[in-house]
Amino acid sequence: MTSGKEAIMTDQLVTAVSTDGAFRIFTVDASATVGEAQRRHATLPTATAALGRTLIGTSLLAAAGLKDDQGLITVRIKGDGPVGAIIADGTAKGTVRGYVQNPQVNLPLNVVGKLDVARAVGKRGLLAVTKDLGVGEPFTGQVPLVSGELGEDFAYYLAKSEQIPAAVGLSVFVNADGSVKVAGGFMVQALPGASDQALTALETNVKTLPLVSELLKAGVSAEGLVGRVMGATPVKVLERRPLSFACTCSKDHFAEVMATLAPRELTQMIEEDHGAEVTCKFCGAQYHYSEAELTSIKKRSEAHD
């Protein structure tokens, strides 16, 4: 049995605010986190970039939208491209997990020589974000995809669903051997006090900014990204916290799920398969159940009927 519990703790997520109170800034170096996702799901380069950007965007949304170390944000992206659905969860504690429906997608580079995430994801489809704040009912906001590159799509979600003007940059650099060299991103949210002049200055700086992956390869840290993104605007760092790939799956969890199956299905597993193996979609962890364990689960299933 392999476990989904292990966490990679070398990445960092930084929260900052401009000293004039006009902007909130979130930056992240997610290189090890995205690398762990690539290894667990054996994704090919284009799929790696699509999943990686989704994990980065999810971590930024979680940092911005969840408080008091509780709650969960789930991002679902479903375009008409070959990677199919991409699902990611992010927590306020600085963990993410996720998977892509078709991990074995690798496309020719796009016209500017980069991994063609837009074609892999597709330009027609939906981006949905579900927030579970730990109190009350979860709520979901949904917007159509506008580019498939995902950075623009996350920004469009913030503008349309949460009425927050934002700039979002997501970037993954994949090595020739398919492993992840660097991955990271930023999200800048304009607050109600932001002037037109400040917005214009930010937009101008972001447009001239190198890719986040290029900055990370050059040795810029997550905290260093804050200054690069904000340019001449003075900022104050509020928080630094680790980011990691971690899954909440467990053998007990999947046993509870199987206990909701019809007893005849469990009988078939026992008599024909003499056991069962379950794989977690989020992390690839595998859990084996013996005949005796399935018999115990069947008794619980019968008690539910």
Query: 251-304: which CATH topology?
Result: CBS domain Like (3.90.1280)
CA atoms within 13 A on the CB side of 168: 24
| pLDDT tens sequence for the chain (305 residues) | 444 554 444 799 999 999 999 999 999 999 999 999 999 999 999 999 999 999 999 999 999 999 877 899 999 999 999 999 999 999 988 999 999 999 999 999 998 889 999 999 998 999 999 999 878 888 999 999 999 999 999 999 999 999 999 999 999 999 999 999 999 999 999 999 888 888 898 999 999 999 999 999 999 999 999 999 999 899 999 999 999 999 999 999 999 999 988 888 899 999 998 889 999 999 999 999 999 999 999 888 776 65
Residues 170, 215: Cα–Cα separation, whole Å: 12
- Taking residue 85's Cβ as centre, other Cβ atoms within 10 Å add up to 13
Predicted TM-score (pTM) of the model is 0.92
In sequence order, what E strands does the chain have? 11-18, 23-29, 72-79, 85-91, 95-100, 125-132, 139-144, 166-174, 180-190, 235-245, 276-279, 286-289
Task: Please give the CATH number for the structural domain made up of 11-245.
Answer: 3.55.30.10
Edge-to-edge strands, sheet with 23-29:
139-144, 125-132, 72-79, 85-91, 95-100, 235-245, 11-18, 23-29, 180-190, 166-174
Domain ranges of the chain: 11-245, 251-304
Residues whose CB is less than 8 angstroms from the CB of residue 31 and which lie 6 or more positions away in sequence, other chains included: 10, 11, 180, 181, 182, 183, 184, 216
DSSP, collapsed to helix, strand or coil, labels residue 59 as helix
251-304 and 11-245 share a CATH fold: no
